[in-house]
C-alpha cells in the first residue's frame, strides 16, 4: 500500500510504502523506486536510515539492529567502505568494511614505523603516487567483437550508447533494475536525484585524488567513498 506523491503515473516524490510481509519504507521515491533519503523497516524491529539508489542501500546510512548499530557507507545493499559498528557494551569496530567483514582497522599502532626512516628502502617510495578520477569510473572498454554478440547486453550493466534503449514505458511492468540494461544518460539522471544539492559525483574538484592503497578492492572502496564525500 502506498501513500504519497505521484508523477507520470509513478511513485515520485515523498511517500510511504508497506509490503504484506510487514516491511515498510518511507522517504523519497523516483520512478517507483526507493531513491534518495529514507527509512526502511523490517518486521523484527531493525531499520536502515540513509541513502537509497534504485531501491538498494547506497551511500551513508545507519543500520539499527537488535543488539548492534552500524553507521557507515553502503554499496548495493552491502557495507562497502568506512564504518563504525557499536556493540551493547559500548565497544566499537572502526575501519573499512567489505560486506560483513572488517578488512582494515582505522587505528594507530604506537610501535608503527615508516619507510621514510629507512633510506636503504627509498627506491620503493620514489615513484609518483597513483591517482583516481571518478569521471573515469563509467568508462567501459568494449572488445572488438562484443558489439556483435547477441547475448552481450544480458550481462553488461550499461548499453553501448543512448540510441539503444529498452522498450518504451518498461517501468510500467518491471521495476527490477538488477537485470535491466541502463543507459549512461539515465544513470546521470538518477545521480542527479541523489546529489541534488551537492557537488555532482563525477565533477572533479581539481586534480584527481591520490590513491592511498592500490589493492583493487580498496581502490573501488576509495572511489565509493569519494563519490559520497
Is the model's pLDDT at 18 over the cut of 60?
yes
Residues listed for the chain: 229
In a domain, residue 14? The reply is yes
Q: Residue 20, Cα to own-chain centre: how many angstroms?
A: 28
In a domain, residue 125? The reply is no
Question: Could you give the percent of the chain with pLDDT greater than 90?
Answer: 43
In a domain, residue 35? The reply is yes
- What is the C-alpha to C-alpha distance for residues 64 and 41, in angstroms, rounded to an integer? 9
Q: What is the pTM of this model?
A: 0.76
Cβ atoms of 152 and 164 closer than 8 Å: no
Is the model's pLDDT at 33 over the cut of 50?
yes
| Residue-level pLDDT at 161 | 62
pLDDT class of 144 with cuts at 50, 70, 90:
very low
In a domain, residue 31? The reply is yes
| Residue-level pLDDT at 163 | 62
**Dihedral angle of Cα 112, 215, 229, 193, to the nearest 10 degrees:** -160
In a domain, residue 219? The reply is no
pLDDT class of 136 with cuts at 50, 70, 90:
low
Cell numbers 559520497 correspond to what residue? 228
| Residue-level pLDDT at 188 | 84
Cβ atoms of 125 and 116 closer than 8 Å: yes
Domain that holds residue 92: 2-105
Is the model's pLDDT at 153 over the cut of 50?
no
Number of domains in the chain: 1
Cβ atoms of 159 and 165 closer than 8 Å: yes
- What is the C-alpha to C-alpha distance for residues 177 and 84, in angstroms, rounded to an integer? 29
Which pairs from 146-154 meet CB under 8 Å and 24+ separation? 153/181
Q: What is the CATH classification number for the domain harbouring 60?
A: 2.20.110.10
In a domain, residue 197? The reply is no
Q: Which three cell numbers stand for residue 87?
A: 556493540
Is the model's pLDDT at 39 over the cut of 60?
yes
Q: What is the pLDDT of residues 89-109, one digit of tens each?
A: 999 999 999 999 999 887 766
Name the most confidently modeled range: 16-30, 94-108, 116-130: 16-30
Q: What is the pLDDT of residues 178-200, one digit of tens each?
A: 666 677 778 888 888 888 655 54
In a domain, residue 151? The reply is no
Q: What is the pLDDT of residues 82-94, one digit of tens each?
A: 999 999 999 999 9
Is the model's pLDDT at 146 over the cut of 70?
no
Flag the least confident range among 82-86, 129-133, 213-217: 129-133
* Mean pLDDT, the chain, whole residue set: 79
| Residue-level pLDDT at 8 | 82
In a domain, residue 201? The reply is no
- What is the C-alpha to C-alpha distance for residues 44 and 24, in angstroms, rounded to an integer? 12
| Residue-level pLDDT at 96 | 95
| Residue-level pLDDT at 195 | 82
How far from each other are the two terminal CA atoms of the chain, in whole angstroms?
35
Amino acid at each position: 500500500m502506498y501513500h504519497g506523491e505521484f508523477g507520470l503515473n509513478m511513485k515520485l516524490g515523498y511517500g510511504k510504502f508497506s509490503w504484506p510481509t510487514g516491511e515498510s519504507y518511507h522517504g523519497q521515491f523516483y520512478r517507483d523506486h526507493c531513491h534518495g533519503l529514507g527509512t526502511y523497516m523490517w518486521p523484527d524491529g531493525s531499520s536502515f536510515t540513509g541513502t537509497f539508489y534504485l531501491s538498494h542501500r547506497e551511500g551513508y546510512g545507519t543500520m539499527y539492529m537488535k543488539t548492534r548499530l552500524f553507521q557507515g557507507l553502503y554499496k548495493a545493499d552491502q557495507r562497502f567502505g568506512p564504518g563504525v559498528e557499536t556493540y551493547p557494551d559500548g565497544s566499537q569496530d572502526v575501519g573499512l568494511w567489505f560486506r560483513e567483514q572488517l578488512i582494515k582497522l582505522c587505528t594507530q599502532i604506537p610501535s608503527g614505523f615508516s619507510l621514510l626512516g629507512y633510506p636503504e628502502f627509498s627506491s620503493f617510495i620514489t615513484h609518483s603516487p597513483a591517482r583516481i578520477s571518478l569521471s573515469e569510473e563509467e568508462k567501459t572498454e568494449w572488445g572488438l567483437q562484443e558489439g556483435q554478440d547477441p547475448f552481450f547486453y544480458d550481462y553488461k550493466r550499461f548499453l553501448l550508447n543512448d540510441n539503444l534503449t529498452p522498450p518504451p514505458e518498461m517501468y510500467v511492468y518491471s521495476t527490477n533494475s538488477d537485470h535491466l540494461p541502463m543507459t549512461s544518460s539515465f544513470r546521470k539522471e538518477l545521480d542527479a536525484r541523489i546529489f541534488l544539492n551537492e557537488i555532482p559525483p563525477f565533477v572533479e574538484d581539481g586534480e584527481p585524488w591520490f590513491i592511498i592503497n592500490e589493492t583493487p578492492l580498496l581502490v573501488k572502496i576509495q572511489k565509493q567513498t569519494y563519490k559520497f564525500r
